[in-house]
Amino acid sequence: MDMDGVICEDCPGVSQVTETDYVHWMQTAKPYLIPNYRIDYIISNRLEKFRVITEDWLRKHEVEFDRLILFPSHDMNDRIGHEAENKIRQLLIYKPEIFIESNVDEAEQIWKGTKIPVISIRMMKMFN
Domain locations along the chain: 14-127
Both ends of the chain: CA-CA distance in Å?
A: 16
Give this prediction's pTM.
0.90
What residue ranges of the chain have pLDDT lower than 50? none
User: What is the reported pLDDT for 18?
Assistant: 85
User: What is the reported pLDDT for 15?
Assistant: 62
